[in-house]
């Protein structure tokens, strides 16, 4: 189904998924109308089943406007609706690895973002002050103080949901540092994850880095110390609308393992064990999952959405032709990622 432009969406600068979609739309040169939270209050817009940012307002099959969330399927919808400057590789093997890395950014890197923002005093103070203002600049000082306290208290109370606690903190922080080192090395050789043109995986990583590298004080300092190129890269990816798109800019399949092996091994080291343990715990009817990640204990409440993420990763794998699955298997062998496909 074709979509009329401009696309209408509501979001906030402090939402990494809002930043992901805005950067994607700019790169694709898809016109959009962006509303901050308070700008949509008086509009007669439908509510999503789950209130998440960003929320897009798009026609369904009957032409009725509905509220749509979840960045990954939204990007796939827009890839079908608009031609030119696509962000999902046409090669099915590359597209699958892209899907996996994008999911890691959306679902694991965000643990670092949430953890650092609401675990350390300086980060709590900054986020508590600024996040309410991004939803409404005209609130008075008294309202600002109330909203700041409300936002901080609410988000700190929800740290357990993403698995940020005293037990898991060492795993999250070590993984963030390793990721920065891997990404720093990667972009010394090529501009983007899959070569000379950006993919949805780039926009997923960029999204989390708009907060980790560019907003929250503690992870920003770490990024500047060990990965200054990642800090700069985040600014570059923010608006690629003026950049030419190299039609042959995707890397070839035969170099993926060498180029992306360290990143895939990091995914297999931390994200895959979490996905598998979460799915097993949910299947057993447990409210909490306990496992070992990177040789350290990990415990958190079970997360039904991430069980769906694992199911979708497996579904995408099954959609591949037999010869493409063989190539994916060769790329993932020994990274730990292959464990979730067995």
Nearest Cα neighbor of 316 from 87, 108, 109, 76 is 76
Residue 170, token pair as written in the block: 């060492």
Question: Does residue 40 carry a pLDDT above 80?
Answer: no
**Positive or negative CA dihedral for 89, 91, 94, 99?**
positive
Residue 334, token pair as written in the block: 């020994």
Q: What pLDDT, on a 0 to 100 scale, did the predictor assign at position 99?
A: 98
**pLDDT tens digits, 149-159:** 888 888 888 88
What domain range is 11 assigned to?
7-81
Asked whether residue 251 is domain-assigned, the answer is no
Q: What pLDDT, on a 0 to 100 scale, did the predictor assign at position 147?
A: 86
Question: Does residue 326 carry a pLDDT above 70?
Answer: yes
Are 16 and 64 within one domain? yes
Q: What pLDDT, on a 0 to 100 scale, did the predictor assign at position 41?
A: 60
Are 73 and 114 within one domain? no
What's the rounded mean pLDDT across residues 227-242? 98
Asked whether residue 2 is domain-assigned, the answer is no
CATH number at residue 303: 1.20.1050.10
Q: What pLDDT, on a 0 to 100 scale, did the predictor assign at position 310?
A: 98
Q: Give the CA dihedral 171, 176, 179, 184, nearest 10 degrees.
A: -150
- pTM higher than 0.85, yes or no? yes
Please, are residues 270 and 171 in contact by the beta-carbon 8 Å criterion?
yes
Are 169 and 205 within one domain? yes
Asked whether residue 52 is domain-assigned, the answer is yes
Asked whether residue 49 is domain-assigned, the answer is yes
Asked whether residue 40 is domain-assigned, the answer is yes
| pLDDT category of residue 186 using cuts at 50, 70 and 90 | very high
Choosing from 49, 81, 113, the residue where a domain stops is 81
Please, are residues 221 and 278 in contact by the beta-carbon 8 Å criterion?
no
Asked whether residue 247 is domain-assigned, the answer is no
Indicate the SS3 state at residue 293: strand
| pLDDT category of residue 1 using cuts at 50, 70 and 90 | low
Are 11 and 155 within one domain? no
Domain total of the chain: 2
What's the rounded mean pLDDT across residues 25-46? 84
| pLDDT category of residue 50 using cuts at 50, 70 and 90 | confident
Q: Where are the alpha helices (DSSP H) in the chain?
A: 16-28, 71-81, 92-104, 110-119, 121-135, 141-157, 159-162, 169-189, 200-212, 217-226, 228-238, 256-266, 272-283, 304-319, 322-332
What's the rounded mean pLDDT across residues 265-275? 98
Are 127 and 34 within one domain? no
The H-or-E segment that residue 65 falls in is strand 65-68
Nearest Cα neighbor of 25 from 190, 183, 206 is 206
Question: Does residue 38 carry a pLDDT above 80?
Answer: no
CATH number at residue 74: 3.40.30.10
Are 51 and 102 within one domain? no
Check residues 193 and 146 and name the one with the higher pLDDT.
193
**pLDDT tens digits, 98-146:** 999 999 999 999 999 999 999 999 999 999 999 999 887 888 899 899 8
Distance (Å) of CA 119 to CA 57, 302, 305: 34, 21, 23
């Amino acid at each position: 189904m074709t979509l009329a432009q401009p696309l209408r969406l509501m979001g906030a600068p402090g939402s990494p998924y809002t930043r992901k979609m805005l950067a994607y739309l700019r790169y694709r040169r898809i016109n959009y109308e962006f509303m901050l939270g308070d700008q949509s209050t008086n509009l007669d817009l439908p509510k999503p089943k789950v209130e998440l940012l960003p929320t897009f307002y798009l026609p369904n099959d009957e032409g009725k406007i509905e509220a749509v969330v979840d960045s990954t399927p939204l990007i796939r919808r827009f890839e079908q609706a608009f031609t030119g400057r696509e962000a999902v590789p046409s090669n099915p093997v590359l597209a699958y690895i892209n899907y996996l890395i994008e999911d890691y950014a959306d679902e694991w890197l965000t643990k670092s973002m949430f953890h650092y923002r609401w675990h350390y005093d300086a980060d709590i103070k900054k986020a508590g002050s600024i996040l309410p203002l991004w939803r409404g600049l005209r609130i008075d000082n008294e309202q600002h103080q109330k909203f700041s306290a409300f936002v901080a208290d609410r988000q700190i109370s929800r740290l357990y949901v993403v698995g940020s606690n005293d037990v898991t903190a060492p795993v999250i922080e070590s993984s963030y540092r390793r990721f920065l080192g891997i990404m720093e090395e990667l972009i010394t050789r090529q501009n983007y994850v899959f070569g000379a043109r950006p993919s949805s995986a780039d926009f997923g990583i960029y999204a989390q880095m708009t907060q980790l590298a560019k907003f929250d004080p503690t992870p920003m300092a770490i990024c500047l110390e060990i990965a200054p190129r990642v800090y700069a890269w985040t600014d570059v990816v923010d608006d690629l609308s003026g950049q030419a798109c190299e039609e042959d800019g995707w890397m070839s399949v035969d170099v993926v393992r060498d180029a992306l092996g360290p990143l895939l091994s990091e995914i297999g080291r931390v994200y895959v064990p979490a996905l598998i343990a979460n799915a097993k715990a949910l299947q057993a009817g447990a409210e909490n999952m306990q496992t070992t990640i990177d040789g350290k204990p990990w415990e958190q409440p079970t997360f039904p959405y991430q069980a769906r993420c694992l199911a979708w990763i497996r579904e995408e794998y099954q959609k591949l032709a037999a010869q493409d699955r063989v190539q994916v298997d060769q790329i993932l062998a020994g990274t730990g990622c292959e464990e979730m496909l067995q």
